[in-house]
Amino acid sequence: MLETGLKTVIMTKIKSLADLRKIKDDVQEKIRLRENADQPEKLVQIKVGMATSGIASGAKEVMNFLIEELEKRNVDAVVTQTGDMGYCFAEPTIEVILPGQEPVVFGNVNVKRADEIIEKYIKNGELVDGIIPRNYETIDNK
């Protein structure tokens, strides 16, 4: 069927420009991820290492935490997962790129440390403990 995307609920009428703006604010959340992905270089970009060792050490939990908390704290960010970064001794690992800056890799990131990274590094640019020197190039940069 071609009309599968159609909602069956009856929609309320939009009676003014203010109504339209309100609907826009409500629905924008649904596509914010896509809009952010369109201009990642202007936003905070975070890559979470999600190989077997990362997942086993709780990378998934950290990733969900980052996505939810960044939104709650009004930080526009693009959180993606990546494969093994090679730091299996320090999983979960995350790489953070602030707009216009070099990437920084943090090791042993649990929820508590993720919270610290958001508050200190992402919001204020202060470095926190546990930075791993970055020793690779990614094909994404080509």
The rounded distance, in Å, linking the Cα atoms of 25 and 31 is 11
Secondary structure of residue 53 in the 3-state scheme: helix
Q: Closest separation between CB of residue 128 and other proteins, Å?
A: 23
The residue count for the chain: 142
Decide if residue 49 touches other proteins (CB under 8 A).
yes
Decide if residue 73 touches other proteins (CB under 8 A).
no
The rounded distance, in Å, linking the Cα atoms of 30 and 67 is 14
Decide if residue 56 touches other proteins (CB under 8 A).
no
Q: Which stretch binds other proteins (CB under 8 A): 49-57, 101-109, 111-119, 120-128?
A: 49-57
**Which of 107, 105, 114 shows the shortest CA–CA distance to 90?**
107
- Output the DSSP codes for 56-67: HTTHHHHHHHHH
Q: Which stretch binds other proteins (CB under 8 A): 48-56, 90-98, 105-113, 122-130?
A: 48-56
Segment holding 81, helix H or strand E: strand 77-82
Q: Which stretch binds other proteins (CB under 8 A): 13-21, 93-101, 102-110, 121-129?
A: 13-21
The rounded distance, in Å, linking the Cα atoms of 91 and 85 is 9
Q: Closest separation between CB of residue 90 and other proteins, Å?
A: 17
Tokens 């610290």 found at: 116
Decide if residue 72 touches other proteins (CB under 8 A).
no
Residues of the shown chain interacting with other proteins in the complex, contacts defined by CB under 8 A: 2-7, 10-17, 19-21, 23-24, 27-28, 30-31, 33-34, 36-38, 40, 48-52, 54-55, 63-64, 67-68, 71, 78-84, 139-140, 142
